[in-house]
Chains A and B, each alone.
Chain A
Amino acid sequence: MPYTILEKKELAPNTVMMQILAPLAVKKMRPGQFIIVRVTANGERIPLSLSGWDTEKGTLRIIVQAVGRTSTELINLNVGDSITDVVGPLGQASHMDKYGTCVLIGGGYGTGAIIPIARDLKALGNKVIAIIGARTKDLVLMEDELRTVCDRVEVSTNDGSSGVKGLVIDVLSEILKKEPVHMVTAIGPVPMMKAVSEMTRPLNILTYVSLNAIMVDGTGMCGSCRVEIGGETKFACVDGPDFDGHKVNFDELVYRQKMYVPYEKKASELYACKGGCK
């Protein structure tokens, strides 16, 4: 069955939301789990987190920011097109409990990924605060929808065009001064997840981060996604993607994420040149 794109919406420059038909992948999906897709028949397998899904309709929703060849190819597709492969759900679901007050922090694609987690945490009776950040107002994603599933949504922008002027970490710092927080989850760029974990560590607040390591199969078979957690090697695809932020070796993750940068650059250049240059 083709994995057809049913809906596409541009949320910000180079950032789109897509609804894709993939009934099998969402049948047992739970918040925090992810999918792996191949966009084309010669494509690589890349992991994507979901901002939502509908088991009845058999659809899933992703937010994709074009950062490399594969993500660019994906956002260039249109409604009615289909992608080659979707497999899921993969990984472990997020830890759900009645914690008390939860702060969910989303950066970039992570802004979408915290929505399903927020919804379930709220349903369990938690107070849920979301912090989302962007460079400027126009790049703030999913704010309205987040407001429907959270008790409060705080926005930060680098230029102060919306919400607090500064970074998500500045907002977190203020919240931690004002009220007790029992659980923090951060999903997004590694520097952000690392900064959040460093901030909550001295306060001993339970902190989860979702690690977007490079993957191939996503079922524990290759070890491409190995990460160091508390001095032990784990596979982000089957042991994660969520891990205790206070135990993650973020520096190693950053190095490993950069492993293929020259290859990614080459692949992107070739794609960009397809129209004209040699």
Chain B
Amino acid sequence: MSSGTISNKERMQIPLQDMPEQDPGARVNNFSEVPLGFEEAVALSESMRCLDNCKAPCIKGCPVGIDIPAFIKKIEERDFIGAAKTLKKYNLLPAICGRVCPQQEQCELVCVIGKRGPSVGIGRLERFAADYERMSGSVDVPEVAPSTGRRVAVVGSGPAGLTGASELARLGHKVTIFEALHRPGGVLVYGIPRFRLPIDVIDTEIDMLKKMGVEIICNAVIGKTLTVDDLFAEGYDAVLIGTGAGLPYFMGIPGENMCGVYSANEFLTRVNLMRADLFPDSLTPVFFGKKIAVIGAGDTAMDAARTSARLHPESVTVFYRRSREEAPCLPREREHAEQEGVDFKFLTNPVRFIGDDNYFVKSMECMKMELGEPDASGRRSPRPIPGSNYIEEVDTVIMALGFGVNPIIKDTTPGLETNKKGIIVVDSATGKTSRDGVYAAGDIITGGATVIKAMGQAKVASKAMHEYLMSKEPAVATK
């Protein structure tokens, strides 16, 4: 790699370029994206912070192994489309990853200059390149290999399904995605709010898949509408399961079924997928009071709290049984929530809900908690302080306690090995399940992780599926 016109010493003197954001006071009145992206000049400055002749530990830090210095160099050379093309060699959905990846735990964590100051804003640059290409109006459709004559069914159109479909289509296989809901995108559409991931970003990526020849069938619940065995009988040669972890957990405390108590999934689905924020122009309602309690402090809790903040409540409060340090959400999401007026009550846990005469929640009894010894997860385990019970006035409660996996595929696919939690057991090097020709990726094999990890697993599975597909003759439909 040539050293270009500026030295590494000069590169290290360039400060981290901030990404401008919508003002908190303005953004709680809309669902538009909060970080506004880089202007070209800002992206150029940021790209120059990436050192020449660096050993690039960032590549290993990326779950899909993007050649990060290469795409950043393209930006520095003002070849923004080239940067997007470089990204897409490794990851067909860079506009999504640039927004929702936890870069500070991955590529940016190991960045060489990060040892002495802020790391290169890799995620911000990834987003810049992908957005530049999208805004240019000519999104590059990756070349598709000549048809192999093999057909693959992909179950689910979230991060794992979309990635698997794109990789397999690129290799020349005929791919059909089956999606249970009425529109594709999975958690990217029903879960992640628009102000974090605008819908046109997802639609652009899905359009690209269609242009690559991928067919998407919505309103098809695999396990109900058709089983995995039906797919093979219809002539599919292999199946990739990417159904995610979409089953909401509740606490099992009294009053949890009261009106006004939602799972985060339901609340977010009503607003994100069904657009309850536009009611009655959109016909799906969401019940929404004045004092909102969000239980839990993961990323989904932040999504629920920040979505709540945009529905004009008097207050939104996150209740978490551990302390701030243990909160599993991304720090930037917690900061965004705080900027938008979300309050946090740490070391506080609800023990029951109290309703009015019409069974609507009107308050919750909480207990104060203290932290004991670290538990199996390494986090200090919370325990209630006896006698600390008190009442919080709330009229909407959103439970964001994590997710389980949906049992529909497990229950309808004989011979598919799962663990006690219903998670599909796979060989991690190939994504291969206990059923011949059936592979799995994403939260269905982990029980819940990140978008990019799901994509990484889908890439691994696609590679193994390609080898499997090419090792046998194309299937013939038996019905």
Contact A260-B287, Cβ < 8 Å, known A88-B224, A90-B221: yes
Interface size class of A (residues with CB under 8 A): 35 or more
Residues 124-146 of chain B: 1 if any A CB is under 8 Å from the residue's CB, otherwise 0?
A: 00000000000000000000000
Interface: B390 (CB within 8 A): no
Q: How many A-B residue pairs have CB under 8 A?
A: 126
Contact A87 B182 (CB under 8 A): yes
Contact B219 A24 (CB under 8 A): yes
Residues 231-258 of chain B: 1 if any A CB is under 8 Å from the residue's CB, otherwise 0?
A: 0000000000000001110101000111
Contacting residue for B283 out of A42, A238, A252, CB 8 A: A42
Contacting residue for B285 out of A38, A85, A223, A263, CB 8 A: A263
Q: In the bound complex, how far is the Cα of B218 from the Cα of A45, in angstroms?
A: 14
Interface: B265 (CB within 8 A): yes
Near A by CB (< 8 A), chain B positions 250-270 give 250, 252, 256-260, 262-263, 265-266, 269-270
Contact A267 B225 (CB under 8 A): no
Near B by CB (< 8 A), chain A positions 206-263 give 216-217, 219-224, 226-228, 233, 238, 252, 255-256, 258-260, 263
Q: Which label, helix, strand, loop or mixed, suits the secondary structure of the A interface?
A: mixed
Q: Which residues of B contact A226 (CB under 8 A)?
A: 250, 257
B3: shortest Cβ distance to chain A, in Å? 53
Q: In the bound complex, how far is the Cα of B359 from the Cα of A259, in angstroms?
A: 9
Interface: B17 (CB within 8 A): no
Contact A221-B225, Cβ < 8 Å, known A42-B282, A70-B283: no
Near B by CB (< 8 A), chain A positions 59-91 give 69-70, 84-90
Near A by CB (< 8 A), chain B positions 266-303 give 266, 269-270, 274-275, 278-285, 287
Residues 35-58 of chain B: 1 if any A CB is under 8 Å from the residue's CB, otherwise 0?
A: 000000000000000000000000
Q: In the bound complex, how far is the Cα of B64 from the Cα of A270, in angstroms?
A: 50
Interface: B226 (CB within 8 A): yes
Interface: B180 (CB within 8 A): yes
Interface: B408 (CB within 8 A): yes
Contacting residue for A27 out of B225, B256, B282, CB 8 A: B225
B180: shortest Cβ distance to chain A, in Å? 5
B421: shortest Cβ distance to chain A, in Å? 15
Near B by CB (< 8 A), chain A positions 8-45 give 24-25, 27-28, 38, 40, 42-45
Interface: B416 (CB within 8 A): no
Q: Which residues of B contact A219 (CB under 8 A)?
A: 180, 221, 224, 246, 406, 408
Q: Which residues of A contact B226 (CB under 8 A)?
A: 24, 27-28
Q: Which residues of B contact A85 (CB under 8 A)?
A: 182, 218-219
Interface: A147 (CB within 8 A): no
Contact B182 A221 (CB under 8 A): no
Q: In the bound complex, how far is the Cα of B279 from the Cα of A270, in angstroms?
A: 11
Closest 7 CB pairs of A and B: A263-B285, A255-B359, A222-B266, A87-B219, A44-B284, A221-B246, A85-B182
